[in-house]
């Protein structure tokens, strides 16, 4: 078997920072000197190349144009590399990784997102372990085929399906969770692979990269005391095409008439409304309670157990793909990349 070739893509973020001990300031890491700075990578049975954004960015500044940059780098290097590791700031990593899962259709190779809570040069950094294990996972093969054939997110000893993740902590090393889907791989003395949870590309269709992401999407989180002016101001945003509505519990919303009237107004404007629970875990179950029955009757899209991050990315992808309004609801409620429960 030939040695796997892995491409590191550095976009920015804490993981790519080192401390300048003379000034005490953090500065971007020179990835051309990666093997010199992290000699442990030489122990991995793979060849590692690296490429960086010309201007590394903080993930708080990440937007769909940067997602296209990442997707394009993967597209350009897809045939020459066996796997990809994307180094990214943790704050918006779940958004970017979810978006890439939709943009990369019929993916047959691993694309692993990772980052860190502390800079790579810090004494107590989590960056080295996250980086080294992500490369190792990207290089994993079985019967000469990649073990992982989807977009994953690796952090603190666990690989998750990227579009199932959300950032849950700004200070702990265990910064991410996948509350509605099990981890794919757990790192310990050995890598424990849960193959039954992995996506499989049967190789029947060609790898395709989608680069049209429609940004005319909004998120509104319901709260006790929300008034009609707030909801109206959102659904009347010029050019709005879709709204992620973060509801209570299993998809519940106030039953006051003005709520339904305003949402009906949005539907009449062909604005797609997705019902997503604002709970960290669990699923929307419209019609289970009276407080969600009206949403069901209004044909609001059932977000089931999708994360807000994946819902936003999926909306941008479907809108950018010009999906027919008649088919939009059924396609959104269907699992495209393992991002939502099947039934």
- The residues annotated as belonging to the active site are 14
CA distance 195 to 263: 42
Residue 59's φ and ψ, nearest 5 degrees, are -65, -15
Distance CA 147, CA 25 (A): 40
The bridge status of strand 158-161 relative to strand 185-187 is: antiparallel
Residue 23 burial (C-beta neighbours within 10 Å; 0-12, 13-18, 19+): exposed
Give, for 75, the enclosing helix (H) or strand (E): helix 64-77
Chain centroid offset of residue 88 CA? 11
Per-residue burial over 33-54, b if 16 or more Cβ lie within 10 Å, else e, is ebeeebeebeebebebebebbe
């Amino acid at each position: 078997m030939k040695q796997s070739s892995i491409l590191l893509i550095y976009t920015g973020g804490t993981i790519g920072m080192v401390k300048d001990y003379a000034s005490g300031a953090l500065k971007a890491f020179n990835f051309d000197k990666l093997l010199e700075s992290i000699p442990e990578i030489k122990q991995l049975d793979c060849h590692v190349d690296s490429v960086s954004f010309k201007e590394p960015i903080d993930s708080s500044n990440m937007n769909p144009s940067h997602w296209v940059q990442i997707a394009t780098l993967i597209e350009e290097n897809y045939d020459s590399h066996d796997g990809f590791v994307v180094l990214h700031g943790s704050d918006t990593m779940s958004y970017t990784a979810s978006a890439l899962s939709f943009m990369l259709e019929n993916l047959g190779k691993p694309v692993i997102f990772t980052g860190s809570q502390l800079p790579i040069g810090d004494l107590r950094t989590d960056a080295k372990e996250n980086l080294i294990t992500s490369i190792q996972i990207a290089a994993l093969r079985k019967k000469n085929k990649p073990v992982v054939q989807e977009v994953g997110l690796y952090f603190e000893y666990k690989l998750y399906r990227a579009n199932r993740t959300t950032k849950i902590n700004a200070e702990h090393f265990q910064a991410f969770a996948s509350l509605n889907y099990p981890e794919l791989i757990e790192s310990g003395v050995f890598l424990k692979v849960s193959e039954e949870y992995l996506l499989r590309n049967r190789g029947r269709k060609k790898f395709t990269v989608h680069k049209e992401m429609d940004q005319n999407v909004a998120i509104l989180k319901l709260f006790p005391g929300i008034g009609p002016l707030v909801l109206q101001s959102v659904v009347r945003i010029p050019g709005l095409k879709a709204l992620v509505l973060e509801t209570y519990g299993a998809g519940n919303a106030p039953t006051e008439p003005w709520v339904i009237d305003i949402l009906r107004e949005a539907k009449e404007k062909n604005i797609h409304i997705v019902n997503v629970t604002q709970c960290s875990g669990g699923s929307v179950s419209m019609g289970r309670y009276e407080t969600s029955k009206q949403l069901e009757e209004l044909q609001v899209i059932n977000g089931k157990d999708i994360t807000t991050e994946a819902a936003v990315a999926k909306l941008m992808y479907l809108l950018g793909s010009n999906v027919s309004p008649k088919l939009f609801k059924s396609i959104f409620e269907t699992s495209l990349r393992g991002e939502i429960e099947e039934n």
